[in-house]
């Protein structure tokens, strides 16, 4: 009888042609790039500073460290998780590296810190000036946090949100305890160059005088850019061209089905969380270097909003199973552009954060719309 | 008369001085601050923005919301916008060094207001003589304590600021310098960390007073923590005015309106005063003079000598303290 009450089956109505380009645009890998370009072009007449070389260089220099961290978040979100501990990893690794490689320590600031006399003294850290050992220590510390996160999620099947929230709290507190909330200065020049050093600088304009003002010389290619681009390329290859990458997507799409298909789900989850923590560590190198200090509070505040926001805006799905490095690259570019333009509009911090929150919400809604669209087209 | 209009009238003289002292050239100034969580910063922000705007200059404001990296990015944005000069209240002494260097590398004069860089050799640095001011305030309560307590060592307590901020270090040094003069009349001070955060100070002070209930005098490195101190002392019966049993001698530093009111009410005994208007005026004068002179990397330290407002000199020096001026204009009623 039920069948009789149901409407008679009809052939699916042909899609309206006008919707097809829209659907194609929404599902395109390049959607956020076009959106960014359109946003840039529309605002350019109203914000002339936006297109100046100095501002474009600022946009890029702000994007590199954020991109590095967001790449790790992309992998975690692709398996259907979230990593709230990235900011804490940044604070911890920044502190550890600075304590080890600083070339001098200030007793009036650090003498009450537990690491004083153990890792750092007046003559500097125990690895003073040995940058690569410091970076190695950072990577180990970061990887350990990721390993614990991944193990708890994979083997105890705890929700990633809860595991990484606990990590966020405990790791942050540990980093602050290490220095009693103090910052560590006197980082080696070689380390600082990783965040601030330029390889190619450019000047646009006529050469009227023998000396070009420093303000008009712009850092185009920096060490931070090289590191971020190299990492993005490597992770793109990992996600798109390897069996591991396909396993990451499969776990996010359907964990049970992946297990049945023989995917080593637990190992994939652990590796993804380790990868996320390692990306946060590389981000920590760039942020610590550009600020020229180890900071236990680095990565606190609204930083996580920026990371998750950029990743979601790029198109990586909050539901897992969908994520691409190129999307995150575009998402970071859009997010940095958005922050920059809001600054140029002289809006207050509170308004800027409100707009950012609204844009992230819009991106999340877009993700829902895209998922529905894909299902309806399947 | 509204609070705003009276505040503006108080700044009138300063406005005229800026307009007259720096010629007619209108400049664009980036004012980058870390946050406005205390009365001192709120009043300083108002003094700087209002005075500059009234003198015909354009002020671009940037609030970093206590994020050093964000502040660096905001300053870079300001430089890209082609500002003529920068006044900054940095997040801490370390990030100040980096930001000052960034501005100077880009040939933009920069002045650091009140919270000095760890290295004060670069930029215009306007800073209070924190150690001396703190020593004066602590010395007053130390002498009062010695008059009242003669049969045992006096137990002092200091609420320390964020020691990454040279202001906090100077204030702590001043506290110890004052007590050092009186040798063993004082017990080993109890140190309570605040990190310039009221919630942290509250938790740590609660713990310290639970472990050491016989504290005789407290010095807070910033006046903004007096409400926090009250919330800890009051339930313990230790928030009493001068002359009553159980009064704990209290001293602070900043000179804000709350401290002024509490001294008048007899609940606080002294506070070290930073001359907010002198500091704001000096920062503005120096940056505008550098812009007019075409000087891109001015390096100068301008020291605010300050003084201590105490229960004894309240009648004579009250109106020298910026907080008392604001209080008289109804600041705390707004």
Q: Which residue of B has its CA nearest to A62?
A: B73
CB contact under 8 A, A293 and B94: yes
CA contacts within 13 A on the Cβ side of A30: 4
CB atoms within 10 A of CB B16: 13
Burial status of residue A61 (CB atoms within 10 A of its CB: 0-12, 13-18, 19 or more): buried
Helix axes A243-253, A265-291, angle to 10 degrees: 100
CB contact under 8 A, B95 and A293: yes
d(CA A278, CA A289): 17
CB contact under 8 A, A298 and B80: no
Per-residue pLDDT tens digits for B240-290: 999 999 999 999 999 999 999 999 999 999 999 988 888 888 999 999 999
In the predicted model, what is the mean pLDDT of residues B163-178?
87
| B167 close to A (CB below 8 A) | no
User: What is the pLDDT at residue B7?
Assistant: 39
CB contact under 8 A, B77 and A344: yes
Residue A210 has pLDDT above 80, yes or no: no
Per-residue pLDDT tens digits for B309-331: 999 999 999 988 989 988 998 87
Q: What dotted CATH number matches B3-127+276-304?
A: 3.40.50.2300
d(CA B80, CA B66): 22
For residue A56, the SS3 value is: helix
Q: What is the mean pLDDT of chain B?
A: 88
| B297 close to A (CB below 8 A) | no
| Contact present, B246 and B267 (Cβ < 8 Å) | no
Q: Which chain A residues are Cβ-neighbours of B65 within 8 angstroms? A: 301-302, 349, 353
Helix axes A303-314, A86-101, angle to 10 degrees: 120
User: How close B147 gets to chain A, by Cα (Å)?
Assistant: 32
Q: What is the mean pLDDT of chain A?
A: 89
The runs of H, that is alpha helices, within chain B are: 3-10, 12-21, 39-54, 68-80, 93-105, 130-148, 166-180, 198-211, 226-233, 257-264, 276-293, 314-317, 322-328
Q: Do domains B3-127+276-304 and B130-273+313-317 have the same CATH topology?
A: yes
Nearest Cα neighbor of B279 from B252, B254, B316 is: B254
| B79 close to A (CB below 8 A) | yes
d(CA A184, CA A165): 26
d(CA B177, CA B136): 10
Q: Which residue among B72, B80, B169 places its CB closest to the CB of A290?
A: B72
Q: Which residue among A58, A215, A293 places its CB closest to the CB of B107?
A: A215
| A58 close to B (CB below 8 A) | yes
Per-residue pLDDT tens digits for A128-146: 999 999 999 999 999 999 9
Per-residue pLDDT tens digits for B175-232: 999 999 998 999 999 999 888 889 989 999 999 999 999 999 999 999 999 999 999 9
CB contact under 8 A, B61 and A185: no
Residue B51 has pLDDT above 70, yes or no: yes
B61, B80, B193: which to substitute to probe chain A, counting the most A Cβ within 10 Å?
Answer: B80
Nearest Cα neighbor of B168 from A216, A109, A75, A198 is: A109
Q: Where are the domains of chain B?
A: 3-127+276-304, 130-273+313-317
The architecture (CATH level 2) of B130-273+313-317 comes to 3-Layer(aba) Sandwich (3.40)
User: What is the pLDDT at residue B20?
Assistant: 43
The helix or strand, by DSSP H or E, that contains position A72, with its residue range, turns out to be helix A53-78
Per-residue pLDDT tens digits for A312-330: 999 898 889 999 999 999 9
- In percent, how much of chain A has pLDDT > 90? 65
Q: Which residue among B80, B98, B107 places its CB closest to the CB of A52?
A: B80
A109, A204, A344: which to substitute to probe chain B, counting the most B Cβ within 10 Å?
Answer: A109
CB atoms within 10 A of CB B334: 10
| Contact present, B274 and B128 (Cβ < 8 Å) | yes
User: How close A377 gets to chain B, by Cα (Å)?
Assistant: 43
Q: Where are the domains of chain A?
A: 31-204+213-372
Q: Which chain B residues are Cβ-neighbours of A52 within 8 angstroms? A: 80
Residue B145 token pair: 């304590």
User: What is the pLDDT at residue B24?
Assistant: 47
CB contact under 8 A, B98 and A287: no
| B74 close to A (CB below 8 A) | yes
Residue A82 has pLDDT above 90, yes or no: yes
User: How close B232 gets to chain A, by Cα (Å)?
Assistant: 23
User: What ipTM was assigned to the predicted interfaces of this complex?
Assistant: 0.83
CB contact under 8 A, A183 and B94: yes
Per-residue pLDDT tens digits for A162-209: 999 999 999 998 998 899 888 999 999 999 999 988 888 877 777 666
Residue A70 has pLDDT above 60, yes or no: yes
Top pLDDT among A311 and B114 is at: A311
pLDDT category, A11, cuts 50, 70, 90? very low
Q: Which of residues 117-146 of B touch A (CB under 8 A)?
A: 118
Helix axes A223-241, A265-291, angle to 10 degrees: 170
pLDDT category, A4, cuts 50, 70, 90? very low
d(CA A215, CA B105): 7
Q: Which chain B residues are Cβ-neighbours of A183 within 8 angstroms? A: 92, 94-95, 164
Q: Which residue among A58, A214, A303 places its CB closest to the CB of B76?
A: A58
């Amino acid at each position: 009888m039920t069948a009789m009450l149901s409407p008679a089956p009809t052939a699916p109505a042909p899609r309206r042609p006008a919707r097809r380009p829209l659907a194609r645009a929404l599902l395109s890998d390049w959607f956020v790039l076009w959106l960014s370009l359109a946003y840039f072009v529309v605002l350019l007449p109203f914000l002339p500073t936006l297109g100046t070389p100095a501002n474009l260089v600022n946009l890029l220099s702000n994007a590199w460290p954020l991109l590095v961290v967001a790449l790790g978040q992309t992998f975690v979100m692709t398996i259907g998780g979230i990593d709230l501990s990235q900011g804490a990893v940044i604070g911890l690794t920044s502190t550890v590296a600075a304590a080890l490689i600083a070339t001098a320590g200030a007793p009036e600031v650090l003498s009450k810190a537990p690491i004083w006399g153990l890792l750092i003294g007046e003559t500097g850290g125990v690895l003073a000036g040995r940058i690569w050992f410091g970076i190695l220590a950072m990577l180990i510390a970061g990887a350990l946090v990721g390993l614990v996160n991944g193990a708890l999620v994979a083997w105890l099947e705890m929700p990633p949100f809860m595991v990484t929230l606990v990590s966020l709290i405990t790791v942050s507190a540990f980093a602050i305890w290490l220095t009693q909330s103090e910052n560590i200065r006197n980082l080696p020049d070689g380390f600082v160059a990783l965040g601030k050093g330029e390889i190619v600088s450019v000047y646009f304009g006529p050469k009227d005088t023998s000396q070009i003002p420093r303000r008009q010389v712009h850092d185009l290619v920096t060490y931070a850019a090289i590191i971020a681009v190299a990492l993005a390329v490597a992770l793109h290859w990992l996600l798109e061209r390897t069996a591991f990458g396909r396993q990451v997507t499969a776990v996010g799409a359907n964990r049970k089905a992946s297990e049945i298909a023989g995917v080593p789900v637990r190992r994939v989850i652990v590796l993804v969380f380790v990868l996320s923590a390692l990306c946060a560590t590389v981000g920590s190198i760039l942020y610590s270097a550009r600020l020229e200090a180890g900071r236990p509070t680095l990565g606190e505040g609204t930083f996580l909003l920026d990371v998750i926001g950029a990743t979601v805006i790029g198109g990586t799905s909050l539901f897992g199973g969908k994520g691409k490095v190129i999307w995150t690259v575009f998402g970071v570019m859009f997010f940095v552009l958005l922050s920059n333009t809001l600054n140029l509009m002289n809006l207050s911090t509170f308004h800027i954060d409100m707009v950012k929150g609204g844009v992230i919400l819009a991106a999340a809604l877009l993700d829902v719309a895209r998922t529905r669209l894909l299902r309806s087209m399947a | 008369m509204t609070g705003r209009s009276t505040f503006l009238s108080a700044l009138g003289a300063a406005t005229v001085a800026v307009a007259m002292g720096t010629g007619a050239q209108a400049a664009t100034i980036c004012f980058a601050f870390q946050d406005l969580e205390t009365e001192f910063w709120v009043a300083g922000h108002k003094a700087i923005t209002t005075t500059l705007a009234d003198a015909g200059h354009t002020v671009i404001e940037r609030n970093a919301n206590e994020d050093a990296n964000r502040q660096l990015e905001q300053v870079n944005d300001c430089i890209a916008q082609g500002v003529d000069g920068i006044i900054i209240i940095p997040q801490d002494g370390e990030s100040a060094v980096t930001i000052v260097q960034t501005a100077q590398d880009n040939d933009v004069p920069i002045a650091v207001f009140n919270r000095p860089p760890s290295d004060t050799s670069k930029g215009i640095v306007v800073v209070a003589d924190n150690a001396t001011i703190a020593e004066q305030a602590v010395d007053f309560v130390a002498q009062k304590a010695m008059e009242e307590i003669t049969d045992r060592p006096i137990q002092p307590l200091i609420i320390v600021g964020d020691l990454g901020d040279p202001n906090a270090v100077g204030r702590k040094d001043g506290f110890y310098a004052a007590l050092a003069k009186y040798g063993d009349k004082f017990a080993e001070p109890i140190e309570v960390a605040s990190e310039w955060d009221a919630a942290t100070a509250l938790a740590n002070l609660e713990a310290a007073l639970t472990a050491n209930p016989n504290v005789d005098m407290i010095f807070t490195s910033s006046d903004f923590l007096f409400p926090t101190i009250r919330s800890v002392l009051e339930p313990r019966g230790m928030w009493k005015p001068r002359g009553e049993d159980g009064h704990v001698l209290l001293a602070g530093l900043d000179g804000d309106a709350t401290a002024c009111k509490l001294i008048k009410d007899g609940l606080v005994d002294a506070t070290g005063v930073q001359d907010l208007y002198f500091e704001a005026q000096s920062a503005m004068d120096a940056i505008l003079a550098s812009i007019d002179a075409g000087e891109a990397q001015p390096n100068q330290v301008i020291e605010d000598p300050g003084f201590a407002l105490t229960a004894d000199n309240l009648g004579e020096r009250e109106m020298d303290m910026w907080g008392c001026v604001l209080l008289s204009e109804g600041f705390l009623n707004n």
